[in-house]
Structure 1
Amino acid sequence: DMALFKFTDAILNDRPIDIYNHGEMYRDFTYVEDLVRGIRLLIDAVPERPASRDEIAEGDSLSPVAPYRIVNIGNSDKVKLLDFVDALEAELGRPAQRNYMEMQKGDVPATWADASLLQSLTGYRPQTDVCEGIAKFVAWFRDYYGK
């Protein structure tokens, strides 16, 4: 996630982080290994063109005219941005310089994935907790960038 990389880099380099809507934001953070596993499992869930629209199950994004569908891959859990920043600070062992800002135009206060179709098609639902994902990311970041 771009926020995780940007925030980690800024905190470790003593730069402030911008926190929009004064932190009253909720997002669905999904660990990269969960995304890759979901994509890998979907490779084997090849969509077939239905004979009629009536054959498409409710909640399925299967196209009635072409063999494709759109599938969300996410934890299906909203996390408050300030809790995300708190967890990142704890993992890094240092506080962020928080620059609280107004909501950006065009942004929304909360978004999260509905991964029920992914689970229906593959039996899989991403499971990595946000704190566990942050810990793994910070370990990678420190190793890769030597910080």
Structure 2
Amino acid sequence: MKKNKKVLITGVAGFIGFHLAKKLVAEGLDVVGIDNLNDYYDPNLKLTRLQELDVDTADLNDLDRREGLVSFVKMDLQDKESMIQLFENERFDFVVNLAAQAGVRHSLTHPQDYVDNNITGFLNVLECCRAYPIAHLVFASSSSVYGLSEAIPFNEDDSTDHPLAIYAASKKANEMMAHSYAHLFNVPSTGLRFFTVYGPWGRPDMALYIFTKAMTEGKEFEVFNNGDMSRDFTYVADIVESIKRLLPKPPQKNNPNFDAEKPTPSKSKATYQIFNIGNNAPVQLMDYVHAIEKELGVKGKIVFKPLQPGDVTRTYANVESLFEYIDFKPETKVEEGIKKFVEFYREYHNLQS
């Protein structure tokens, strides 16, 4: 990718957004990041991530621009007028939309959060990309869109019409919204279905953080479906390398692999495409737990529970399309990723190794 291109990362203080910002800055790109710094999980972790990007986080106010390795503006995607002003001022070359209300279980009790943040917020992103044309919009979807599907491994052209929670439904909606804007207004869009991203600076509501915290504190923790689950755990560095390679490769019109008589979800005549982004190597949840135990040198106090509403028992990404498109395949081993997370966790919480 050419240096000095300007990239907007929404959700830059989030887990993936933070790592992507570091990666793109190191590649010589001009990165602007926005985040509303909400309290879905500890905002101090988000602020510390920003500090790692050399952003002054003292007395941050809405629309207060701070310079560091990135240019940061505290902003909410729902603030349409401020979003329009930002796009008008900056004239972005690329946009990576990672801002979203996360969490399947939270969506069971707070569904409106997902409509406001994930649907209305994403609509504002699309409207801005329409008004101020960009070379490529890359946006976060989720493996959760596969819902009830048991066709393993999940393929981008499988049905995604049976989501299990409003979180998944909001991500499915994002895919459909992006397609309509690609078709009507030529907004080049690539959706990425993330598969269980983990690694240093990860979210405290994710399993790796929860399990590690409980083990280091000698407390019990819950493992659902009695541990009979598997996930395609994907290391965050593999995710951001994939996004970096994707940015300069927007989809083109009239994809020759699109068949209008047998249309599939991942391809289109419009400037639109969908990829899975996973490790392509599912791991049993209990093997994941045991890997954390081994790295910490402790035995976890597990409380087995039944399957939670909205959860699926297994995920597994077919990533051949992505590999062919960008010549890169995520492949970091779980043991290596967990080791790096534990190193981060101990340093962040000032724990002795």
Normalising by structure 2, report the TM-score. 0.39
Name the counterpart of 1:29: 233
Q: Secondary structure at the match of 1:33?
A: helix
> Which one of 259, 268, 291 corresponds to residue 63 of structure 1?
268
Q: Deviations over 1:31-78 (max 9, x none)?
A: 1101111111111221111167349xx98813323x121211111111
User: Residue 107 of structure 1: CA displacement?
Assistant: 2.0
1:51–1:122: structure 2 CA closer, same or farther, 3 Å change rule?
closer
1:51–1:111: structure 2 CA closer, same or farther, 3 Å change rule?
closer
Matching of residue 88 in structure 1 with residue 292 in structure 2 = yes
- For the aligned residue pairs, the C-alpha RMSD in angstroms reads 2.0
Gaps of 5+ in 2: 1-197, 199-205
* Contact preservation (8 Å) 2:255, 2:268: no
1:59–1:136: structure 2 CA closer, same or farther, 3 Å change rule?
farther
User: Residue 110 of structure 1: CA displacement?
Assistant: 0.9
Count of residues in correspondence between the two structures: 144
1:120–1:110: structure 2 CA closer, same or farther, 3 Å change rule?
same
* Contact preservation (8 Å) 1:25, 1:109: yes
Matching of residue 14 in structure 1 with residue 227 in structure 2 = no
1:51–1:116: structure 2 CA closer, same or farther, 3 Å change rule?
closer
Counterpart of 2:213, as a letter, is D
Q: Deviations over 1:64-109 (max 9, x none)?
A: 23x1212111111110000000000000111111010111123221
Matching of residue 135 in structure 1 with residue 329 in structure 2 = no
User: Residue 30 of structure 1: CA displacement?
Assistant: 0.6
Name the counterpart of 2:65: none
Q: Secondary structure at the match of 2:273?
A: coil
Normalising by structure 1, report the TM-score. 0.89
Gaps of 5+ in 1: none
Name segments (4+ residues, structure 1) moved above 4 Å.
Answer: none
More off after superposition, 32-41 vs 10-19: 10-19
Q: Look at both structures and tell me which one has the larger radius of gyration over its CA atoms.
A: 2
Matching of residue 72 in structure 1 with residue 243 in structure 2 = no
* Contact preservation (8 Å) 2:226, 2:305: yes
Q: Deviations over 1:96-135 (max 9, x none)?
A: 1101011112322111222111101011100100111101
Counterpart of 1:139, as a letter, is E
Counterpart of 1:31, as a letter, is Y
Name the counterpart of 2:310: 106
Tell me how far apart the structure 1 counterparts of residues 291 and 255 of structure 2 sit (CA, whole Å): 49
| Structure of greater relative contact order (alpha carbons < 8 Å, 6+ residues apart) | 1
Tell me how far apart the structure 2 counterparts of residues 99 and 140 of structure 1 sit (CA, whole Å): 26
Counterpart of 1:117, as a letter, is S
